[in-house]
Amino acid sequence: MRQLETGYSKWLDYIGMDELGARAEELQGRPFTHLPELVKVLREQQAIHGPISPVLESKLDALADGEAFTMVTGQQVGVFGGPLFAVYKLLTVLKRAKQAEIKLKKPVIPIFWMATEDHDYAEINHVFVRQPLSRQLRKEALSTVPLAGKASVGELEFDRLKIELVQMLQRLLLSEAETAYTTMLYPELIDLIQASHSFAEFFGRMMRRFVGEDFILFDPHQPAVRALGRDMFKRLITDHDRLNTALHDAFEDGMPHVELNREAAHLFYHDGTRELLTKQDGLFTTKRGHRFTEAELIRQVETYPERFSNNVVSRPLMQDFLFPTLAYIAGPGEIAYWLQLRPLFHVFDWKMPLVIARLGAVLVSANDEKKLAQEGVTLIDYLMEPLPDHAFDEEEFDQSLYAYRTLTEVIGREAGKHGHRFDAKARHVLERLADEMRVEAKRDQYRLNSRRIHLSTRLLPMDAPQERIWSMVPLMNRHGLDLFKRLYDVYEQTEVERCLVKL
């Protein structure tokens, strides 16, 4: 957040939570006439994922009346909740929405925008699993399904993968030590798998069950949502040239580098698969040969809004059209491209919402702390410079046996004075003893490496932050099914961007 408010401030319309009031005033000057219908859709969607709290129900009433604001975050709908940073984004939006309510004295609803319009199946179909005696975690991935990588995730078959998901869960838990929580966690997750009929449902049910009831799970990949976005789709088409000019000129020195398609029309057209629209010589075209004039494309939107969806550039604009959005909670990669989007908001005479960095965490158990102490390093030192494996040096071990080898020679010669067979037998016994010493030395090395492998996989898995590798399941198996509700309590008490959580 500090980097956003200092180094990147000139590319933001609002800087930090102190400017919430100014953003709220701007939103109150904009019409959101579709809110009653949007709230109806939100309620229908929540019924799929599980009940929401009475407090959130009343906030939805306020939103329908234009008397509430929203804060939004989002992520792809990874199996078993995806990487931990998805949960951290959700916990952050809960925290910031609560702070905004206190400041503005109006209801603020946390929204989690599930990226069901995304097509990247490889991003959502896997978890990482520990392997014995290895720092490397194994990627457990679901098999492919028809149209994977071509159609939106919201269109992919889910039910055919349920057996694979159960098997994935079994392998995930078998790679962990059984705990007092395992026998409770396993049947709950099985029930969630069986009750779900899409990746969005499974993800949403995970978040509702294990994080809480005070946020909205929003699925944009539904006909009713596309119909509500009809007017925005039209504006993206009619203002295409102005938007593309703004995006072409958006990057400035000092911005973090990120690849954005600056030639696209920033809309997808759905006709069995998802096709990106581009504009060439006055026509909107796709690679599969669709060709539309602007008027023809507008008629398509008017008649078939479900055939259109947003890309990474237009999604934030659609978000700002649908919701009275105070702020977006972003990860580092998202911040990089959001900084280039401000001129696009200005095309519509809007300002860009606050962009707020998500919070993170370092989760450390008592066992982790014990092993760090045994290694004589602090957590900070370890995260800065992880400890490598102890290598077993055969040559060094052989050198350590020099005196023993000398003694073996002496004993062999003395025994040989009584016959050759005594020389051979003495040498055989002593060599076998040397082999046993070598085995024991390797056992000692294994014990040392086992400790270091534990620290590596728990604290810095595959040399990456925990939140990018671990999923919710192993953590709940170790520390309880209420872990992420407890973690929210920690978030409530801190403003540290990456807080230490002792479990």
pLDDT in tens, 449-489: 788 889 999 999 999 999 999 999 999 999 999 999 999 98
Q: What confidence score (pLDDT) does residue 374 get? A: 92
The more confident residue out of 436 and 342 is: 342
Coil, strand, or helix at residue 3?
helix
Q: What confidence score (pLDDT) does residue 500 get? A: 77
Measured CA to CA, the distance from residue 314 to residue 319 in angstroms comes to 9
pLDDT in tens, 153-188: 888 999 999 999 999 999 999 999 999 999 999 999
Q: What confidence score (pLDDT) does residue 309 get? A: 93
pLDDT for residue 490 is more than 70: yes
Q: Which helix (H) or strand (E) holds 197?
A: none
- CB-based burial, 235-247: b 16+ in 10 Å, e otherwise: bbbeebeebbebb
The more confident residue out of 15 and 258 is: 15
- Name the band, by pLDDT with cuts 50, 70 and 90, for residue 272: confident
- Name the band, by pLDDT with cuts 50, 70 and 90, for residue 14: very high
Give the contacts of 403 (CB within 8 A, at least 6 positions apart): none
Look at the block and give the residue holding tokens 């992520």: 75
Q: What confidence score (pLDDT) does residue 333 get? A: 87
pLDDT in tens, 336-363: 889 999 999 999 999 999 999 999 999 9
pTM assigned to the model:
0.88
- Name the band, by pLDDT with cuts 50, 70 and 90, for residue 423: low
Inter-residue contact 111 to 216 (CB < 8 Å)? yes
Q: What confidence score (pLDDT) does residue 351 get? A: 96
- Concatenating the DSSP letter of every residue in 62-88 gives HHHTT--EEEEEEE---GGG-BHHHHH
Inter-residue contact 477 to 185 (CB < 8 Å)? yes
pLDDT for residue 198 is more than 90: yes
Average pLDDT of the chain to the nearest whole number: 89
Span 110-132, average pLDDT = 92
pLDDT in tens, 283-339: 999 988 899 999 999 999 999 999 999 999 999 999 999 999 999 999 988 998 899
State what percent of residues in the chain have pLDDT above 70.
Answer: 89
Coil, strand, or helix at residue 278?
strand
Span 109-122, average pLDDT = 93
Q: What confidence score (pLDDT) does residue 446 get? A: 67
Q: What confidence score (pLDDT) does residue 207 get? A: 97
State the DSSP code for 388: P
Q: What confidence score (pLDDT) does residue 257 get? A: 82
Listed by start position, the domains of the chain span 387-459
Span 420-449, average pLDDT = 69
Orientation of helix 35-49 relative to helix 199-210, angle to 10°: 80
Span 48-69, average pLDDT = 96
pLDDT for residue 396 is more than 80: no
Handedness of CA 68, 69, 75, 76 (dihedral sign): positive
Q: What confidence score (pLDDT) does residue 403 get? A: 67
pLDDT for residue 447 is more than 80: no
